[in-house]
Amino acid sequence: MGETSLREFLKSDRLLLALVLLAGVGGSGVARWAFGQAGFDILGSVVFVAGYGTMVFVLWFGWLRHIDIRGPEGRDSPDTVESSGLYEHDRDGGSDR
> Average model confidence (pLDDT) for the chain?
79
Is residue 47 included in any domain, yes or no? yes
* pLDDT average, residue stretch 78-85: 57
Count the domains in the chain: 1
Is 76 inside any structural domain? no
Calculate mean pLDDT across residues 65-79: 71
Task: Quote the domain boundaries for residue 48.
Answer: 11-68
Residue 83 has pLDDT above 70, yes or no: no
Residue 35 within any structural domain of the chain:
yes
In this prediction the pTM is 0.58
pLDDT for res 34: 96
Q: Is residue 57 part of a domain?
A: yes
pLDDT in tens, 20-66: 899 999 999 999 999 999 999 999 999 999 999 999 999 989 888 88
- Burial per residue of 74-85, b for 16 or more beta-carbon CB atoms within 10 angstroms, e otherwise: eeeeeeeeeeee
Provide DSSP, 14-80.
HHHHHHHHIIIIIIHHHHHHHHHHTT-HHHHHHHHHHHHHHHHHHHIIIIITT------TTSPPHHH
